[in-house]
Amino acid sequence: MIRTTLAGRTVALAAAAILLLSGCTASPEPEAPVSSSSDDAVETDATSPFDDGSFYSATATMPLVRVLDAPDGEIASRLDHPNAAGAPLTFLIKEHEGDWLEVYLPTRPNGVTGWISARGMDIEELPYRLDVSTDDNELDLYEADELVATYSVATGTGGTPTPHGTFYLTELLAPTNDGYGPFAYGLSAFSEVLSEFGGGPGQIGLHGTNDTASIGQAVSHGCIRLANDDITELAEMLPLGTPIEIGA
């Protein structure tokens, strides 16, 4: 996999990487996911103040992150950094308690959270958030509480709906499959109908498309499609961890 940078962020350049998404077009076979052979994690101090009303991300600086079921609790899972797409392992922070962070996890079931140590994490305030309406097929971009732009999008069909809930951007990909446009964000959301798609795990994406007629309609397998100019604009702006609220 080749990686480059866009607006200071890592962008994965691999046709297979896009298969992590549920997808809206046919796809080739995926590459094998990356896994860690060690349970050892390197811990470093990386705490940050939190302001009410702001969103924060936590990005791993060690090769393995232990996820606990509670602060100082039992290990519920272990996640590798970088992730299977080659992107930095990033979380959206929900709550914090001392040196412990409750974070949304990029795994099934949708909306699941866990606790991680703030040590060994880079914590950043997030400038933007996204709201998606599947009824209106629109995506709103907010900077703090100010509406910056509204984009027309395509969302899932009745048989393969786009899941609702609080999610976040997990990776930024530059697919070689024109069906996904020039850029695609992976989300922490997964299809609630498809357990896999095209060899991938049914992950939902926010991406461009070569089917411009589909924009504004409910036609996808669950992914959110934008015009290519719009996804290019967002790819220049939105860091990993950016929250995306999907509802009716």
For 72: left if phi > 0, alpha if psi spans -120 to 50, otherwise beta; the answer is left
Q: Sign (positive/negative) of CA torsion 83, 86, 92, 93?
A: positive
CA distances from 202 to 106, 155, 168, 229 (A): 12, 15, 16, 25
Neighbour-count burial of 27, counting CB atoms closer than 10 A to its CB (0-12 exposed, 13-18 middle, 19+ buried): buried
d(CA 116, CA 41): 12
Q: Which of 81, 96, 207, 221 is catalytic?
A: 207
The catalytic position among 24, 96, 221, 223 is 223
Ramachandran area for residue 23 (φ above 0: left; ψ -120 to 50: alpha; else beta)? left
Cα separation, 147 vs 141, in Å, equals 6
The residues near 49 (Cβ < 8 Å, ≥ 6 apart) are none
Would you call 24 a catalytic residue per the annotation?
A: no
Phi, psi dihedrals of residue 158, rounded to the nearest 5°: -60, -30
Active site residue 221: no
| β-bridge pairing 155-156 and 218-220 | parallel
Could you count the other beta carbons within 10 Å of the beta carbon of residue 15?
Answer: 17
Give the active site residues: 207, 223
